[in-house]
């Protein structure tokens, strides 16, 4: 079946550092891909999405490009802030559900 | 538009009891999905409803059930609670319009089983 694999955390960075969180997927067909973020004590928020190959999703300085050839959707940000500390989930859609990665906890130190 | 609302936000039950959680989707959204989130298992899909019909179901025992009403509000029920059912239960709604399936989540119901 479909699956999503993302890098394990926690990932600890200093403020203004460059961020990459890796995500790869396996799927039949061409799913839409998503990054969700969960801040402490809160529900999930959609961060960005891409619906077809080579699409780039972007929001709040975060970007991810749908790479069909490498089945990847890595999340990047050029300069992280303390307020970006959260858990980030990669997901793909399949048969009326989202298939989730395990989540990556991001810790940004001042 | 108001977001997805879930009630109650917190719940404490004892083993063997049953519980009902409620979810009100974003106005106009006709699809509602439920997920269980635990530290050990992460996010796991429970079921999805569209126009009162269950379209997909995850790999959970029959103790977990759900339904959707004509106004798109949804409930999920867990009978004969077990300690392992302690989790954050998340509801998400979607308009299912367009070429992709974008879900908006509520804040969740934190269920603790003692």
Q: What is the pLDDT of residue B24?
A: 98
Q: What is the pLDDT of residue B100?
A: 56
Q: Which residue of A has its CA nearest to B101?
A: A93
Smallest CA–CA distance, residue B23 to chain A, in Å, is 13
CA distance B36 to B23: 14
CA distance B102 to B37: 19
B78-97 pLDDT, tens digit per residue, is 999 999 999 999 999 988 76
The yes-or-no verdict on residue A95 having pLDDT over 60 is yes
Q: Chain B residues contacting A, CB < 8 Å?
A: 4, 31, 33, 35, 42-45, 48, 50, 55-56, 58, 90, 92, 99-108
The yes-or-no verdict on residue B98 having pLDDT over 70 is no
- A14 confidence band (pLDDT: 50, 70, 90): very high
Contact A106, A84 (CB under 8 A): yes
What integer is the mean pLDDT of A22-34? Answer: 91
Sorted by sequence, the CB contacts under 8 Å of residue B52 that are 6+ apart come out as B67, B68, B69, B70
């Amino acid at each position: 079946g479909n699956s999503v694999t993302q890098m394990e955390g926690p990932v600890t960075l200093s403020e203004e550092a460059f961020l990459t969180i890796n995500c790869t997927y396996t799927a039949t067909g061409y799913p839409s891909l998503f990054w969700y973020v969960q801040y402490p004590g809160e529900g999930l928020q959609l961060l960005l999405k891409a619906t077809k190959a080579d699409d780039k999703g972007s929001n709040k300085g975060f970007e991810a490009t749908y790479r069909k050839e490498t089945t990847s959707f890595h999340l990047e940000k050029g300069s992280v802030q303390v307020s970006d500390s959260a858990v980030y989930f990669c997901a793909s859609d399949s048969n009326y559900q989202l298939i989730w990665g395990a989540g990556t906890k991001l810790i940004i130190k001042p | 538009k108001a977001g997805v609302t879930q009630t109650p936000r917190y719940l404490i039950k004892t083993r063997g009891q049953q519980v009902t959680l409620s979810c009100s989707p974003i106005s106009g959204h006709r699809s509602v999905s439920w997920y269980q989130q635990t530290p050990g298992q992460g996010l796991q899909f429970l079921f999805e409803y569209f126009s009162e019909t269950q379209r997909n179901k995850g790999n959970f025992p029959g103790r977990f059930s759900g339904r959707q009403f004509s106004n798109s509000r949804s409930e999920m029920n867990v009978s004969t609670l077990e300690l392992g059912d302690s989790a954050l239960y998340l509801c998400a709604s979607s308009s299912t319009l367009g070429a992709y399936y974008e879900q908006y989540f509520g804040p969740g119901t934190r269920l603790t089983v003692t």
